[in-house]
Chain A
Amino acid sequence: MSDNQLLEIIDKYLNGEMTKEERARFEILRNENAEINSKVAEHKHFTGLIKQYGERLELEKRLNAIHSEIDVHALEEELMIHPSWIVQLWRNHHSKISVAASIAIFAALCTLFFTGYLNNRETNYVKLSREVANIKKTINSRGPNLNPHPKIDNPGNFRGTGFAISSNGYIITDNHVIKDADSVYVQSIDGKSYKAKVVYSEPQTDIAVLLITDPSFKSLGAIPYSFKKTESDMGENVFTIGYPSDKMVLGPGFLTANAGYQNDTTAYQVSILLNPGNSGGPLLDNKGDLIGVIDAKQTRMEGAGFAVKSTCLLKTIQDIPADSLKKPLTINYKNALASLNRVQQIKKLQNYVFMVKVYNQ
């Protein structure tokens, strides 16, 4: 029996075209002959594959026919979730957008960095009270016996400058100097320390009014400078004296702008070398008129300091509630310094300018 004939018989067998007898005979043959048996299995498998192929092809044809009847386009329109165009834009182009955004941010940062904008401006502005907590100084040079005021030994946690506005002991300083104070002392040029208390403070203008309450305090005598009621002009020669260190220091300079930090119209900008400790010092013009109170300086700009205007100061003084004033507060408008030169002016002034020492925990 040739392969050809055998295959034909197998085909017949698989297709069920054999008679009962033939079939029985072939099955016996198949059982006896392993070779034929495996041929049958092999052929069955292969023709199965051909049939599967055919069925699948046919099924696909049927499915395609069904599919062609469906209006896919209309369905798509209906089923597509239409996100807002911005979301769609993002979906389609998010990588490009991300890259562009990164570049933009980077460029902006670079620009800001190179123009110096990034350095925090607020930090450029420092209040000028001087922190001396860590500067433990023993002031023994005078000798304890000579000094009737032992409090001088304690330098205080903070320090600023203050100046008298009346002979009976009212002193102006900056609010930030005496803020959070447990106790306040003022020290005069001759080294005497007096206990003072805060009568009034105004964080907005940064002005504080102290009153010397120490029993050992005696009248200061007439205040030599007057308070200027009008604004001063740019370019005017001005000076301050104060306690940036342990001794009184003169700070000469010019009035450089009619507005303060960030265009604050209640302040002047001055070109004076200021240091921590100058806060609360008087700002005077050539004639010895008091035109402002030293307040702060800008760190990034050398020599740019700020002072609260005297007009603002006067207004603040007027605002003090009458109840707060233990003693009458009379403002001096008579100027005793106008005809003097700077050296003589300062000699007179220095008795009215105090170091303000603040103690807190």
Chain B
Amino acid sequence: MSKESNSGIPTDSEVILGILNNSESVLKRLYVAYFPMVLQLVINNNGDGDDAKDIYQEAIIILYNKVKTGDFELSSKLKTYIYSVCRRLWLKRLSQIHRYGGDIKDFEEYLSVDDETEKNNERDIQFNKMGDALKLLGEPCKTIIEDFYINNRSMQEICESFGYTNADNAKTQKYKCLQRLKKLFFQQK
């Protein structure tokens, strides 16, 4: 039955499986399916389309991370879960920018999801720190690190693309880069 709809709203289990399998189409269907709901929430509560995008993507990332790390347990409908997370995030954002009027117009039922967003906050901080550290690292270090650790390219490939005469040089370079990155990462507050 999950195969029946290749467009339209994916079932909840389809989404979980799709995330685990890195399925592009499921992610897209998921995104398209629930974005209007979140857009409605945000634009009718003092926000605009860009706010809705930020909030929604953050929620999708939370869901994504949760599923990937394996501690996602679907205790309600996925729709309710996403709405709840977005609602929580938006309330937080509203109070940060002092636009929170004390009440929020709701369009769906929702659950309490405080700790989910807190955990994500921690991840967010590390993500930003890593981004900043990489930016400060400069080239060619940044690319070497990204190629090796993120894009999973072998030292041999990296060696060739950077024109190092032998792999050892590349390895030394990579080692130095990593040490610097660590230093930059942990130096940040």
Contact = CB atoms under 8 A, between A and B. Distances in A.
Interface string B144-184: 01101111100000000000000000011001001001100
A76 B31 contact: no
A67 B31 contact: yes
Given A53-B150, A63-B60, A75 B39 contact: yes
Interface residues of A, number: 34
B64 A59 contact: yes
B18 to A, nearest CB: 12
Nearest to A60: B57
A54 interface: yes
Nearest to A6: B175
Contact of B32 (A4, A55, A66, A80): A66
B27 A62 contact: yes
A29 interface: no
Q: Find the residue from B27, B32, B57, B105 having the highest chain A CB count within 10 A.
A: B57
Given A62-B24, A70-B32, A51 B150 contact: yes
B10 to A, nearest CB: 13
A73 B43 CA distance: 11
Contacts of B178: 7
Give chain A's interface secondary structure class.
Answer: helix
A69 to B, nearest CB: 8
A267 to B, nearest CB: 58
Give chain B's interface secondary structure class.
Answer: helix
A29 to B, nearest CB: 19
Given A56-B127, A70-B32, A76 B49 contact: yes
A63 B182 contact: no
A52 B123 contact: yes
Given A3-B175, A4-B175, A67-B31, A79 B146 contact: no
B130 interface: yes
A52 B129 CA distance: 12
Interface stretch (A42-50, A297-305, A352-360): A42-50
A25 B146 CA distance: 29
Contacts of A4: 171-172, 175
Interface residues of B, number: 40
Interface string A1-45: 001100110010001000000000000000000000000000000
A53 B27 CA distance: 19
A52 B61 contact: no
B44 A67 contact: no
A61 to B, nearest CB: 11
A77 to B, nearest CB: 10
Interface in A56-93: 56-57, 59-60, 62-64, 66-67, 69-70, 72-73, 75-76, 78-81
Contacts of A52: 123, 126-127, 130
Interface in B4-52: 24, 27-28, 31-32, 35-36, 39-40, 43-44, 48-49, 52
10 smallest CB-CB distances across A and B, nearest first, come from: A54-B150, A79-B40, A53-B130, A72-B49, A50-B149, A4-B175, A66-B31, A63-B57, A66-B28, A81-B44
26 contacts: A4-B171, A11-B148, A46-B182, A47-B149, A50-B181, A52-B123, A52-B127, A53-B150, A54-B149, A56-B61, A56-B127, A60-B61, A62-B27, A63-B31, A63-B57, A63-B60, A66-B27, A67-B31, A67-B35, A67-B57, A72-B52, A75-B39, A76-B48, A78-B36, A79-B39, A79-B40
Interface of B: 24, 27-28, 31-32, 35-36, 39-40, 43-44, 48-49, 52-53, 57, 60-61, 64, 105, 123, 126-127, 130-131, 134, 145-146, 148-152, 171-172, 175, 178, 181-182, 185
